[in-house]
Amino acid sequence: MKIFTIATVLGLASLASAEIFLHETFSDGENWTQRWTPSTHRADLGKLEVTTGKWFADENKSNALRTTEDYRFYATSTPIKPFTNKGKDLVIQYDVKNEQHIDCGGNYVKIFSDKFDPKTFNGDSEYNIMFGPDFCGTKAMVHAIFNYKGVNYDLKKTVSAPNDVDTHTYTLIVKPDQTYQILVDGEEKASGELIEDWDFLGPKTIKDPSASKPADWVDEHEIDDPEDKKPIDYDSIPEFLADPEAVKPEDWDDEMDGEWEAPSVPNPDFKGPWAAQRIPNPDYKGPWIHPEIDNPEYKVDNEIYAYTFGNLGLDLWQVKSGSLFDNFLVTDDIKEAEAIRQESLDLAVKEKEAKAVHEAELAKAQEEADAEQAAVGTEADDKPLEGGESGDMEINFDELNFDDEINLDEAAAEVKENVAEIKEEVEQKIIEAIPEAAKKPVKDEL
Ligand SMILES: *[C@@H]1O[C@H](CO)[C@@H](O)[C@H](O)[C@H]1NC(C)=O
Ligand SMILES: *[C@@H]1O[C@H](CO)[C@@H](O)[C@H](O)[C@H]1NC(C)=O
């Protein structure tokens, strides 16, 4: 039973070292602003808020970070407890809900080192890993980009992202043996080896630069048959002949019309320029294949996966805002990540029920509005217009309320200001219109 004991000890040891470096749930109301730093890289970055969204599963768990402005860049970040994933598993996981029917916009996260300036954070800030979905038109894909020696490498496989209005959980797992997994809602969408599925190291072999095709290499498939000789009289066969069927017209006058000649017709025996028969080349060696050698640039690196982490950021462009981000998780604990994911998946099921209720309410409200409008329309049709309603407005002075004192000086000043503004606007319009009028051809004026 010694083996069991060791296994138990190892199990406990690995449990003890497992750690969560970031788990952001936005569940404490306004306090998220203490943990997230908006970039000040540009003044017009989109605003974010924490809200449950239009429909949700649990009022206490569904708070999420939402983009609120259309046609905006977003850049904000939060610290991760600094750590290195060297020798450890790495899990990056979060939930996204695009309840706005996203048409074109990013949903991905970027994970940065501890050397990162949240204030200047922008699209060019160097990251370690970029992970998550991205949508535009028919494109709906999950990015997984790793920075290796300053260069960003894209996953060579295509992972598609669900493009709907429900919450989905995205998970990236990287292990110290340089294998990886991408999960969407807990289902594996891609897996394999980092060095196979990203081009970090370049090709293993290259064409030998010192080798070249020998000058005497015979790569001609066919040659002229040396036995095939041009017949001696071949060139004497004329291309055209005098038409043997032609007859000199009866009224031909040799003196007036010159000597009669039959018109030319193609010679059926003429074969065109002579060419020898082609035969297979007995010296043919096949196509020359450039020999390959080991790529001297290819250096096995067993630590491509290892980074130092310190920050997580959203750097997005959104045409239609309204994406909700929740449960940002960075950990070395695959089991814990799975438990947190399961909770998200369970909530997503309830959320779908909430969506159905929400949609039913919307439909009912629409129906009621339509019915009301129809009723108003009928009433108006039934009722003939009376004098008072046709435009002769009668004022009932008893009903007017003169509680607010009117300051005549202030009112006059305001009117003056408005008039000045309108005047300025009109002048500007005239100035703008002049070059267009001047460009008009004179003809039009006539
Ligand atoms: C928000 O932060 C303040 C101060 O840091 C703290 O006192 C308060 O309990 C927090 N609120 C919640 C809901 O966690
Ligand atoms: C949310 O929390 C409040 C206060 O703790 C509680 O009264 C309420 O029942 C909770 N709602 C749900 C759906 O659990």
- Higher pLDDT pick, 225 / 442: 225
Block residue for tokens 């040799």: 254
For a substitution probing ligand 2, which of 27, 52, 59, 62 has the most ligand atoms within 8 Å of its CB?
59
Could you tell me the pLDDT band of residue 269, with boundaries at 50, 70 and 90? confident
CA–centroid distance, residue 60 to ligand 2 (Å) = 6
Looking at residue 424, its pLDDT comes to 74
Q: Tell me what the mean pLDDT of segment 88-107 comes to.
A: 96
Asked whether residue 108 is marked as a ligand-binding residue, the answer is: yes
Return d(Cα 334, Cα 15) in angstroms, integer: 11
Q: Is the CB of 30 under 6 A from ligand 1?
A: no
For residue 88, give every residue at least 6 positions away whose Cβ sits within 8 Å of its Cβ, in sequence order, or none: 17, 176, 332
Q: How confident is the model at residue 16 (pLDDT cuts 50, 70, 90)?
A: low
Q: Which residues contact 32 (CB under 8 A, 6 or more apart)?
A: 24, 26, 50, 65
Ligand 1 centroid to residue 31 C-alpha, Å = 6
Residue 32 Cα to ligand 1 middle (Å)? 10
Asked if residues 109 and 36 have their Cβ atoms less than 8 Å apart, the reply is no
Is 60 close to ligand 1, i.e. is its CB under 6 Å away?
Answer: no
Determine the Cα–Cα distance for residues 218 and 285; give it in Å rounded to an integer: 6
C-beta 58 within 6 A of ligand 2: yes
Task: List CB contacts of 128: < 8 A, sequence separation 6 or more.
Answer: 111, 112, 113, 146, 147, 307, 309
The reply to whether ligand 2 has any atom less than 6 angstroms from the CB of 60 is yes
The per-residue pLDDT for 379 is 63
pLDDT digits (tens, 9 = 90+) for 232-250: 888 888 889 988 888 888 8
Please give the pLDDT value at position 168.
98
Determine what percent of the chain is predicted with pLDDT higher than 90.
Answer: 63
Q: How many CB atoms are located within 10 Å of the residue 190 CB? A: 18
Q: How far is CA 116 from CA 113, 310, 313, 330, 413, in A?
A: 6, 8, 10, 17, 54
- Our answer on whether the CB atom of 137 is closer than 6 Å to any ligand 1 atom is no
Counting ligand 1 atoms within 8 A of each CB, the residue from 25, 31, 32 with the most, and so the one to mutate, is: 31
Q: 119 CA to middle of ligand 1, Å? A: 24
CA of 91 to the centre of ligand 1 (A): 28
Q: How far, in Å, is the centroid of ligand 1 from the Cα of 35?
A: 12
Residue 442 has pLDDT above 60, yes or no: no
**Domain boundaries along the sequence of the chain:** 2-198+305-351
Fold of 2-198+305-351: Jelly Rolls (2.60.120)
In ligand 1, the atom with minimum distance to the C-alpha of 28 is: 13
pLDDT in tens, 41-53: 999 999 999 999 9
- 56 C-alpha to ligand 2 centroid (Å): 14
DSSP H or E segment with residue 444: helix 442-445
Query: Which residue of 26, 28, 35, 36 sits with most ligand 1 atoms within 8 Å of its CB, as the best mutation to test the pocket?
Result: 28
Distance between CA atoms of residues 397 and 144, nearest Å: 72
pTM: 0.69
- Number of other CB atoms surrounding residue 348 within 10 Å: 17
Q: State yes or no: pLDDT of 416 exceeds 80.
A: no
Tens-place pLDDT, residues 175-197: 999 999 999 999 999 999 999 99
Q: Is 148 annotated as a binding residue?
A: no
Least confident piece of the model among 3-12, 41-50, 292-301, 420-429: 3-12
Q: What is the mean pLDDT of residues 378-398?
A: 51
Residue type, 303: E
What are the Cα distances from residue 334, in Å, to 2, 297, 338? Answer: 27, 35, 6
Largest CA distance in the chain: 131
The minimum-distance atom of ligand 1 relative to the CA of 30 is 1
* Rounded distance between C-alpha atoms, residue 43 and residue 205, angstroms: 49
